[in-house]
A and B are shown apart, each in its own frame.
Chain A
């Protein structure tokens, strides 16, 4: 490629459009009177901005009209650790405008346990600010699920239904496990969907864009759920935005393992969908269309590849662990029970903080079954509404965290806390012995 000064490169579709062109296009995309009124500023600056983003997302993706959606999921605006005060103020002004959500809108975790933030050591002013975002979202009409596993808390998408979900581990899970259809939305496009009840029709809403692209042939045995983290972490780097298809994975895979695989794929890559032969619905219905026709690349995963995948996840040699955090994504009831049976009659080492993260819904169930009491008697905490990724763990003074989640490993390392990655049992052994054993 010749590089000459003054050389100009053009794009086919500019991200910013001139005002006149935009008006013409708004007519072409058949906006409703309500949407036009929001764009005219009748509901304030925030709602106007949200719809402007929707229009641009439509144009840039060459959407084929709009599609009505069944459910919206919001993620990061309300978190003190991500949206921060800007996100909080944005939500408060939006709620003050009088606009309300038109469809069911569920919510990702926030940065505190909404009821028991004090026992986690979260500063009071931080908790109060967080509560303001929560109140704003509830005023807007959101369902206060505060979990990254809403499908364990009553929001179960039906096969083929259209969603506008944000949390990347939920997007990939809804698409792959349920065969529902959502693009990887961000909060502003999801807020547009919540307000209007529809979303631009492009990408994964179309059946033909859901076929597998990379075949992953498993020649390794996957046992613990963190084996699925390591696999997802490794494949996500190769896949980027492509759709992986897994062959020879066990048919009796647990729901937690599928959650771990998806969360990891959506961390090191921008993967929004995967298929597993004989497990996930689209490929069961049409193995040729989703698993063979469009494959352009094949990878084999051996036991050696899995060993290397584990090594990639240990970015610190320091094993002076003071924080053990499990449940990313939020644990299932089965996993909580497994933790309880391990910890029964044991004690967490002094100076070690242990969090088992889940939703309020699952915690309530585990409270009735007695599993929460067993875990807390040992000295660990069953934490809800938040997790190690969203709570301010660095500011809370933790130095080295151990976890069984590849997603948590990536983000918490990025916040400046050293992380050791290992399976659930290894993490729990460290919790009761005080020693990390490789």
Chain B
């Protein structure tokens, strides 16, 4: 079970090439989160895109504690499943709502990967 601040995107992420494995920040130039750090955030996104190499980038970020501390995804594909199990990252998918439509960046969330639940603890400063 993990508590943390949500970082929300409606755009898919390619962890290979799209995220800096040394800093944990988004480096895909055309991405809406360009330059933003994933470190310590609860990342809310629709899906992954691109290379299957994403798996190892996510595992390596987790091993160095510079990746997201939890992930909420609309639908986890096999690449993400491998990454979060190997990396030990609490993750939920297939929620009854589209997570990136209801959660907002800055919201304080509690993610329980075992039960598969997400709780909205507090609104972000700009989201109440």
Contacts and interface: CB of A to CB of B under 8 A. Distances in A.
B86 A49 contact: yes
A185 B51 CA distance: 10
Contact of A411 (B16, B21, B119): B16
B117 A270 contact: no
A95 B87 CA distance: 21
B47 A15 contact: no
A105 interface: no
Contact of A82 (B53, B76, B79, B113): B53
B33 interface: no
Contact of A410 (B50, B95, B113): B50
B17 interface: yes
A256 interface: no
A14 interface: yes
Interface residues of A, number: 59
A57 B94 contact: no
A53 B85 contact: yes
B78 to A, nearest CB: 6
Interface in B23-48: 27-30, 47-48
Contacts of B82: 53, 57, 186-189
Contacts, number: 178
Contacts of A87: 56
Given A13-B116, A77-B56, A186 B102 contact: no
Q: Give chain B's interface residue range (CB within 8 Å of chain A).
A: 35 or more
B60 A3 contact: no
Interface of A is mostly: loop
Most chain A beta-carbon neighbours within 10 Å: one of B29, B56, B84: B56
A60 B120 contact: no
A185 B60 contact: no
Contacts of A411: 16-17, 51
B12 A270 contact: yes
Most chain A beta-carbon neighbours within 10 Å: one of B55, B60, B94, B102: B55
Contact of A7 (B55, B114, B120, B127): B120
Interface of B: 12, 14, 16-18, 21, 27-30, 47-57, 59-60, 63, 76-79, 81-86, 90-97, 99, 101-102, 113-123, 127
7 contacts: A5-B122, A53-B86, A60-B81, A76-B55, A187-B82, A241-B77, A414-B17
